[in-house]
Amino acid sequence: MKTLLVVYHSMTGGTLQMARAAADGASTEPSVQVRLLRAPDAAAEDLIDADGYIFATPENLAAISGLLKDFFDRTYYAALERLNGRPYAALICAGSDGQNAARQIERIASGWRLKPVAPALIICTHAQSREAILRPKQIGPEGLQSCQDIGAAMAAGLVLGVY
């Protein structure tokens, strides 16, 4: 049995929908256990005990969300050298950009010697005004399908041992 850990944070629901879609996609693989954890609830042991990872975050102030950063801060050194070579993917929910959040995750993951299974998936919600940013988000079916595909591909790769 392989384990896929999905760690996310979301303020207005967009990233949560993306993370759930990826988890649903991975769950189509019966021999993969999928763990979907909010960043504040995830610890270094969860990383060490898993075989692959999906990190999902909004881009806030040109960065990953504070609570995902807190998760990495709490776990980085405890997990260092213990995750080498494992696969990961990043899902970013952004108003209009997302590139910096993607870069930050890539940098942290490369420190852990994780292998990206795909370029970071950035979905833009086009929220730029105060009202739009504070409003609950709805990710469209195409975006959710892309997240599901990443989850399914990651799970299939774990089962086949291709990573």
Ligand X SMILES: Cc1cc2nc3c(=O)[nH]c(=O)nc-3n(C[C@H](O)[C@H](O)[C@H](O)COP(=O)(O)O)c2cc1C
* Contacts for 29 with CB less than 8 Å, ≥ 6 apart: 152, 155, 156, 158, 159
Encoded tokens for 137: 């988000």
Q: From CA 109, how far away is CA 53, in angstroms rounded?
A: 10
Nearer to ligand X, 2 or 148 (CB): 148
Tokens standing for residue 44:
């270094």
Applying CB under 6 A, does 55 fall inside the site for ligand X? Answer: no
Piece of 32-40, 55-63, 109-117, 143-151 that binds ligand X (CB under 6 A): 55-63
Q: Which two tokens stand for residue 1?
A: 């049995």
N-term to C-term CA, the chain: 15
Q: Is 133 in the site for ligand X (CB under 6 A)?
A: yes
- Is residue 93 exposed (0-12), middle (13-18) or buried (19+ Cβ within 10 Å)? buried
Of these, 108, 127, 147, 152, which contacts ligand X (CB under 6 A)?
Answer: 127
Q: For the window 22-51, what string marks contact with ligand X as x by the rule CB under 6 A?
A: ------------------------------
The reply to whether 151 sits near ligand X by the rule CB under 6 A is no
Q: Does 66 bind ligand X (CB under 6 A)?
A: no
| Interaction residues for ligand X, span 93-112 (CB under 6 A) | 93-98
**Footprint of ligand X (CB under 6 A):** 10-15, 58-62, 93-98, 125, 127, 133, 137
